Amino acid sequence: MALKSRLWMTGSLEWFAILGDEEVFLGRREVPTPLEEGDFWTNDYGDMFRVEDDEIRHVGKVEPPQKYW
């Protein structure tokens, strides 16, 4: 699958993408790799993303996931 979204990983292993005209933080380990059609995840800030029609889309926001240390 070839994604239409521009996507990159930083040296800190954080994933970013250009969605529309904005640079967006996708997440860290929660981003599924390799990305496939229908993949869905929520980053540490509660932003939800889904791969639809070969593009990464921001589909909503929820309460950030709880971390239990």
What would the DSSP string read from start to end of 42-66? E-TTSEEEEEETTEEEEEEE-PPPP
Contacts of 52 (CB under 8 A, 6+ apart): 37, 38
Domain residue spans in the chain?
6-61
Which residue from 47, 56, 51 is spatially nearest to 27, judged by alpha carbons?
Answer: 47
**pLDDT at residue 23, rounded to an integer:** 96
State pLDDT tens for residues 3-35: 889 999 999 999 999 999 999 999 999 999 899
Q: Across the chain, what does the average pLDDT equal? A: 93
